C-alpha cells in the first residue's frame, strides 16, 4: 500500500448510482450532483467490482499504461478516497 | 420465407394496392422465430390512404390520425396487413430526431407504442417489394436518435427499479426487493439489447431470441439466462441473487453508450 495509507477492504461501486457512458466518459449521478470520470479515473471506477483488490487494480492500470505499479498505487488510493467521500465507492470487508 | 407464396396470398385477398412504396413482413415471421401458430404481420407503405369496408381503423398520433388494418385467416393462420402512409413514416422519424432527444423528452412521450414498434421493426423487416424505400427508411432510422431514446428510457427504468430494491432491502422487505430486482434486470437487459439495435422491448417474449441475436459482450446468454431464471436464488439468502442483478445493472450502464 502507498505509504501509511490503509485501505479498508476491497472497493466496490456503490449500489444505486446512476451511471451513463457517453463519448466524454462516465457520468455518475448522485442526487442532484453529477461527476464526470474519464481517462484513468474511468478505468479505475470500471474495475471496482467488489472482488478486485486495490493492488490488483493498480497492477492492471500500470500494465496497461506501461508504468511501474509504485507510480500508480498512491494515485489509485487517493482517487478511491475521493470517490468514497462523495459516496460513489463502498468498501467490502 | 417463400416471398412468392406470401404475395400470392395477399394478391388473392386483394390487399396489395397497385403501386405501394413498399410492402414487408415484420415480427416473428420476418425474423425466423415463428411457430405454426404465429400470425403473419405485413406492413404496406402507400402514397394514399387505404379505404375498405372491412378494415379496422386504429387511431394514431399522426397526420392523418389513423392507420387501417385488414385481417383474415388463410387456413388456420391469421394474417394482418397494416397500411401506413409514407408521410406518416417520415413524421415518426422526425419525432425521434436528435433535436427532440436533446429536449430531454422521454421516449414514452415522443412515440406511442405502435409507432415505436413500427420503427423498431424497420431494421429486421423482410421486404416483399420496395427494397429501396425500406433501405432508405432504415438509413434514416440509423441516423435518428431512436436508439438513444429507447436506451435512455430503459436505463432510467432500470435505475428506478434499483432504487426500489435498495429502499426495500434497507427496510427488510426482501420479497419486494426480489420483484424490484427482476424489474431492474428486465430494463437493464432491454437497454443492452437496444444498444445493439435489437429493439422490441414492448414484446418481452422474444427477449431470449433478441439476446442471442445481439450476442452482447457484457454477459453471455448462459449467464443472463441463469439470472433470468433465478438459478442461483437462495430463499434463505435472497440478497446474493439481488446483488448479482445489481452488479449486472451497473455493468450494463457502464457498457452502453447513450449518445
CB A28 within 8 A of CB A18: yes
Name the nearest CA neighbour of B32 among B2, B76, B65: B2
Taking 60 as the threshold, does the pLDDT of residue B215 lie above it?
yes
DSSP B133: H
User: What angle, rounded to 10 degrees, do the helices at B221-228 and B207-214 form?
Assistant: 160
The model's pLDDT over B53-71, given as tens digits with 9 standing for 90+, comes to 999 999 999 999 999 999 9
Q: What percent of chain B is predicted at pLDDT more than 70?
A: 100
B166/A46 CB distance under 8 A: no
Residue B99 and residue B127 in contact, taking contact as beta carbons nearer than 8 Å: no
Contacts of B158 in chain A (CB under 8 A): none
Q: Give the per-residue pLDDT at B43.
A: 98
Average pLDDT over residues B239-259: 95
Considering chain B, what is the average pLDDT of its residues? 95
Between A and B, how many CB-CB pairs are < 8 A? Answer: 34
Q: What is the DSSP letter of B203?
A: S
Q: Give B255's contacts in chain A (Cβ within 8 Å).
A: 21
CB contact under 8 A, A21 and B253: yes
Contact: A26, B246; criterion CB under 8 Å? no
So what's the pLDDT on residue B108?
75
DSSP-assigned beta bridge partners for residue A20: A27
Give A5's pLDDT tier (boundaries 50, 70, 90): low
d(C-alpha B159, C-alpha B185), whole Å: 10
Residue B150 pLDDT greater than 50, yes or no: yes
Q: pLDDT higher for B109 or B215? A: B215
Residue A4 has pLDDT above 60, yes or no: no
pLDDT band at B31 (very low <50, low <70, confident <90, very high): very high
pLDDT of residue A1: 43
Q: How far apart are the C-alpha atoms of B83 and B118, rounded to whole Å? A: 11
Could you tell me the sign of the dihedral formed by the alpha carbons of B188, B191, B193, B196, in that order? Answer: negative
Interval A12-37: pLDDT, tens: 999 999 999 999 999 999 888 899 99
CB contact under 8 A, A46 and B253: no
Share of residues in chain B with pLDDT > 90 (%): 92
Question: A interface toward B at CB cutoff 8 Å?
Answer: 13, 15-23, 26, 46, 49-50
What would the mean pLDDT of A56-81 be, rounded to a whole number? 93
Cα nearest neighbour of A37 on chain B: B254
CB contact under 8 A, A22 and B162: no
Report DSSP letters for B137-163, one per residue: HHHHHHHSSHHHHHHHHHHHHHHHHHH
Q: Which residue of B has its CA nearest to A22?
A: B257
Contact assignment for A16 to B255 by CB distance below 8 Å: no
Query: How far does the CA of residue B101 sit from the closest CA of chain A (Å)?
Result: 14
B4: pLDDT strictly greater than 50: yes
> Closest partner residue to A18 among B159, B166, B257, by Cβ?
B159
| For residue B2, pLDDT beyond 90 | no
pLDDT mean across residues, chain A: 90
User: Which residue of A10, A13, A21 to mutate against B (max B Cβ within 10 Å)?
Assistant: A21
* Spatial distance between the Cα atoms of B94 and B35, rounded to a whole number of angstroms: 35
Tell me which residues of chain B have a C-beta less than 8 Å from any C-beta of chain A.
155, 159, 162-163, 166, 243, 246-247, 250, 253-259
- Give how far A23 is from chain B: nearest CA, Å: 7
In the predicted structure, residue B80 carries a pLDDT above the cut 70: yes
Amino acid at each position: 500500500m502507498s505509504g501509511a495509507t490503509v485501505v479498508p477492504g476491497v472497493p466496490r461501486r456503490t449500489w444505486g448510482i446512476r451511471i451513463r457512458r457517453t463519448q466524454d466518459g462516465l457520468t455518475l449521478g448522485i442526487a442532484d450532483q453529477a461527476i464526470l470520470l474519464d481517462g484513468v479515473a474511468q478505468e479505475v471506477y470500471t474495475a471496482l467490482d467488489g472482488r478486485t483488490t486495490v493492488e490488483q487494480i493498480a497492477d492492471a492500470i500500470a500494465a496497461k499504461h506501461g508504468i511501474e505499479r509504485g507510480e500508480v498505487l498512491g494515485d489509485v488510493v487517493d482517487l478511491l478516497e475521493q470517490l468514497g467521500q462523495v459516496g460513489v465507492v463502498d468498501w467490502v470487508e | 420465407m417463400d416471398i412468392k407464396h406470401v404475395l400470392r396470398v395477399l394478391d388473392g385477398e386483394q390487399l396489395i394496392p397497385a403501386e405501394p412504396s413498399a410492402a414487408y413482413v415484420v415480427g416473428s415471421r420476418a425474423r425466423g422465430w415463428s411457430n405454426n401458430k404465429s400470425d403473419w404481420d405485413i406492413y404496406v407503405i402507400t402514397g394514399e390512404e387505404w379505404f375498405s369496408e372491412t378494415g379496422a381503423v386504429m387511431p394514431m398520433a399522426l397526420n392523418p390520425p389513423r392507420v387501417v388494418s385488414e385481417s383474415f385467416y388463410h387456413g388456420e393462420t391469421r394474417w394482418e396487413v397494416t397500411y401506413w402512409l409514407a408521410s406518416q413514416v417520415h413524421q415518426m422519424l422526425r419525432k425521434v430526431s436528435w433535436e427532440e432527444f436533446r429536449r430531454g423528452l422521454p421516449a414514452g412521450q415522443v412515440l406511442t407504442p405502435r409507432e415505436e414498434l413500427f420503427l423498431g421493426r424497420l431494421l429486421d423487416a423482410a421486404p416483399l417489394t420496395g427494397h429501396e424505400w425500406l433501405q432508405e427508411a432504415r438509413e434514416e432510422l440509423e441516423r435518428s436518435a431512436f436508439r438513444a431514446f429507447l436506451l435512455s428510457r430503459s436505463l432510467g427504468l432500470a435505475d428506478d427499479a434499483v432504487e426500489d430494491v435498495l429502499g426495500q432491502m434497507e427496510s427488510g422487505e426482501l420479497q419486494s426487493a426480489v420483484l424490484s430486482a427482476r424489474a431492474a434486470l428486465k430494463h437493464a437487459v432491454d437497454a443492452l439489447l437496444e444498444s445493439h439495435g435489437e429493439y422490441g422491448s414492448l414484446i418481452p417474449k422474444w427477449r431470449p431470441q433478441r439476446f442471442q441475436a445481439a450476442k452482447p459482450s457484457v454477459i453471455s446468454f448462459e449467464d443472463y439466462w441463469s439470472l433470468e431464471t433465478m438459478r442461483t436464488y437462495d430463499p434463505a439468502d435472497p440478497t446474493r441473487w439481488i446483488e448479482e442483478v445489481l452488479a449486472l445493472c451497473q455493468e450494463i450502464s457502464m457498457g452502453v453508450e447513450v449518445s
